[in-house]
Structure 1
Amino acid sequence: MPIITINIVEGETSIEEKRLMMLAVTEAISATTSYRPQDVRIIIHELEASNYSVAGKATGAH
């Protein structure tokens, strides 16, 4: 069974958006592989903005 990990910055995605994201990813995996939707596992990790950087700069740095 596939286990998909999604990393997002905390507070930028609503519960509804996460629900829709998990559904869309599940559907994409099922459509492109032999896995059934019930075989797909998704884990969302929400990162503190200060623990994430772009081009060497922490996104939550003040």
Structure 2
Amino acid sequence: MPIVHIDLVEGRSNEQLRGLVKDVTKAISKNADVPEERIHIILNEMKKDNYSVGGTLKSDEK
């Protein structure tokens, strides 16, 4: 039973998240020979105030 953790900065629609988990599930099933119903995906969405790249908070970017 694969368990996949995906960390994302907030801001994607439910439609985008649905597409993401569908595509990731299919890729894991194909490449790891695991039935799709056995694949678990955990999405962690971070607030832009809680994520930084190069010393700049994502919330400070324009």
**TM-score between both structures, scaled by the size of structure 2:** 0.90
Q: RMSD in angstroms over aligned alpha carbons?
A: 1.3
Shift of 1:9: 1.1
**Number of residue pairs matched by the alignment:** 61
Aligned sequence identity (%): 36
**TM-score between both structures, scaled by the size of structure 1:** 0.90
Unaligned runs of 5+ in 2: none
The corresponding residue for 2:41 is: 42
Q: Which has the higher helix share?
A: 2
Q: Which runs of 4+ in 1 moved over 4 A?
A: none
Unaligned runs of 5+ in 1: none
For 1:3, give the aligned amino acid. Answer: I
